[in-house]
């Protein structure tokens, strides 16, 4: 058992090292945090997808003097990475393939470490803490949220007067959503689908449900590979943008009979219903980009009692009509469940924002009222400038004449 753990930890350490090569922003911020001591002695809980890039964030926070614990659900945990972090002395509460019951045990043990700061993905841990660990919430300095699907319920909690801590919406930073969501999630979800199925997208009708930043990226990458993209959207402005980007726009009921691949990219429960699935052709592929299985009609599909794994990562359901529905990654976000997540370079930006959010919570946000707060412009510029310097880019200097022109009316 020890030999297997060591081998897994060694493999994980190599992958963490490979990711580290592409994360110059996080390195620079880590060095500054270690020097200024803002996080020294604080307990930071990292509840993000557990793979080599987020492992680098955990190690950066540790090196900055924080006591770090890591939690992740079984569908999004890379075991070699978890073993490598544990071997490096980080408290890890994550097991690849853990059952729902085991996940619940692990997240409770994670919260029992009594973190001062939570870095969350999907707001699942923040919401659990509010529901069942009120004394912990009383002690929390604050939290940061990574995703669109997490920021939305936190804003709803705040509107209802239920949110009791300040939360920094990392997802809403331009240096996050313009890169991570569009280029990162778009690329990794499309590429994971191709890896899992070994199919091509060229000529297929790909329906993208939701045209936020993730849906935009999925549509862009699918179209680049020759797919015929149809966008489903509630918002007329986003729908019009999809038209200008070269895609067709339809209701899901209208698009369903033509759909060959469906990406749910809304972060909203019930975006694709069983009634929609009933209209889809035999062999349609359903998957989730950026959100979770709650976007798909998994309860109704599971109730059919016909599930069979036809390929690693692909579950087939037979409907009463005899038509089949194929679901990738059991409906979970496929790039995390069956891929390696988003590309290293874009995650360097997002995870650097998480590190800076932790610093802001430690130094300033602990005094804020409960609510959802934006990442400051100074923080966003710091991340962008570090990356630009690494790329050898230079900005046009702001001369007195240009400054005057900008102020003129």
Residue 178: other Cβ atoms inside 10 A = 14
Q: What single-letter DSSP state applies at residue 170?
A: G
Q: How many CB atoms lie within 10 A of CB 102?
A: 13
- Listing from the earlier edge strand, what are the strands of the sheet with 43-47? 91-93, 67-71, 43-47, 117-120, 142-145, 166-169, 371-373
Helix (H) or strand (E) holding 167: strand 166-169
User: Does residue 97 sit in helix, strand or coil?
Assistant: coil
Question: Which residue's structure tokens are 């650097």?
Answer: 352
Annotation: CATH topology of 2-176+342-390: Rossmann fold (3.40.50)
3-state DSSP assignment of residue 233: coil
* Residues 31, 202: Cα–Cα separation, whole Å: 45
At residue 6, the pLDDT reads 59
Contact, 280 vs 257, CB < 8 A?
Answer: yes
Q: How many helices (H) and strands (E) does the chain have?
A: 19, 15
CB atoms near residue 180 (< 10 Å): 31
Please give the backbone phi and psi of residue 10, each rounded to the nearest 5 degrees, phi first.
-65, -45
Q: Do domains 2-176+342-390 and 183-337 have the same CATH topology?
A: yes
CA distance 301 to 283: 14
Spatial separation of the C-alpha atoms in residues 400 and 409, rounded to whole Å:
16
Question: Would you call 40 helix, strand, or coil by DSSP?
Answer: coil
CB 134 within 8 A of CB 163: no
pLDDT at 3: 43
Residue 148: per-residue pLDDT: 87
Q: In what order do the strands lie in the sheet with 248-249?
A: 248-249, 228-232, 205-209, 261-264, 284-288, 324-328, 314-318, 308-311
> Residue 218 has what DSSP assignment?
H
Among 16, 20, 40, CA closest to 28: 20
Q: Are 187 and 217 in contact (CB under 8 A)?
A: yes
Domain assignments of the chain as residue spans, ordered by start: 2-176+342-390, 183-337
Q: What is the pLDDT along the chain (409 residues), one digit of tens a residue?
A: 344 555 789 999 999 999 999 999 999 999 999 999 999 999 999 999 999 999 999 999 999 999 999 999 998 999 999 999 999 999 999 999 999 999 999 999 999 999 999 999 999 999 999 999 999 999 999 999 999 889 999 999 999 999 999 999 999 999 999 999 999 999 999 999 999 999 999 999 999 999 999 999 999 999 999 999 999 999 999 999 999 999 999 999 999 999 999 999 998 999 999 999 999 999 999 999 988 899 999 999 999 999 999 999 999 999 999 999 999 999 999 998 999 899 999 999 999 999 999 999 999 988 899 999 999 999 999 999 999 999 999 999 999 999 999 999 9
How many other CB atoms are there within 10 angstroms of residue 386's CB atom?
A: 20
Residue 236 Cα to chain centre, angstroms: 26
pLDDT at 317: 98
> Residue holding tokens 């929390």?
140
Distance CA 354, CA 250 (A): 37
Please give the class, per CATH, of domain 183-337: alpha beta
Q: Residue 273: how many CB atoms within 10 A of its CB?
A: 15
Give the pLDDT score at 106: 97
Are the beta carbons of 9 and 87 closer than 8 angstroms?
yes
């Amino acid at each position: 058992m020890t030999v297997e753990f060591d081998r897994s930890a060694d493999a994980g350490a190599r992958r963490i090292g490979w990711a580290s090569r592409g994360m110059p922003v996080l390195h620079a911020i880590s060095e500054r945090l270690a020097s200024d001591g803002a996080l020294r002695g604080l307990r930071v809980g990292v509840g993000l997808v557990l793979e080599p890039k987020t492992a680098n964030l955990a190690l950066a926070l540790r090196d900055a003097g924080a006591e770090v614990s890591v939690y992740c659900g079984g569908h999004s945990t890379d075991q070699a990475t978890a073993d490598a972090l544990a071997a490096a002395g980080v408290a890890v509460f994550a097991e690849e393939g853990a059952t729902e019951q085991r996940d619940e045990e692990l997240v409770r043990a994670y919260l029992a470490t009594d973190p001062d700061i939570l870095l969350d993905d999907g707001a699942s841990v923040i919401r659990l803490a509010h529901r069942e660990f009120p004394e912990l919430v009383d002690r929390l300095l604050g939290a940061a949220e990574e995703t669109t699907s997490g920021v939305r319920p936190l804003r709803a909690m705040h509107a209802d007067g239920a949110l009791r801590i300040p939360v920094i919406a990392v997802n809403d930073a331009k240096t996050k959503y313009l890169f991570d969501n569009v280029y990162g999630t778009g690329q990794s979800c499309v590429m994971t689908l191709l890896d899992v199925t070994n199919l091509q997208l060229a000529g297929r009708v790909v329906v993208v449900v939701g045209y936020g930043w993730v849906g935009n990226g999925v549509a862009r990458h699918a179209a680049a590979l020759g797919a015929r993209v149809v966008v489903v959207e509630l918002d007329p402005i986003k729908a019009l943008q999809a038209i200008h980007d070269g895609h067709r726009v339809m209701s899901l009921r209208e698009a369903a009979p033509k759909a060959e691949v469906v990406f749910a990219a809304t972060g909203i429960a019930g975006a694709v219903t069983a009634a929609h699935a009933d209209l889809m052709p035999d062999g349609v592929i359903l998957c989730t980009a950026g959100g979770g299985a709650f976007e798909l009609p998994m309860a109704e599909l599971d109730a059919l009692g016909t599930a069979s794994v036809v390929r690693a990562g692909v579950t087939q359901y037979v409907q009463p009509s005899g038509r089949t529905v194929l679901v990738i990654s059991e409906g979970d976000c496929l790039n995390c469940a069956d891929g390696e997540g988003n590309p290293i370079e874009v995650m360097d930006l997002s995870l650097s924002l998480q590190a800076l959010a932790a610093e802001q919570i430690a130094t300033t946000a602990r005094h804020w009222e409960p609510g959802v707060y934006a990442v400051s412009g100074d923080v966003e510029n710091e991340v962008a400038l570090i990356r630009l310097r690494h790329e050898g880019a230079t900005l046009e200097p702001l001369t007195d004449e240009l400054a005057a022109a900008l102020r003129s009316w």
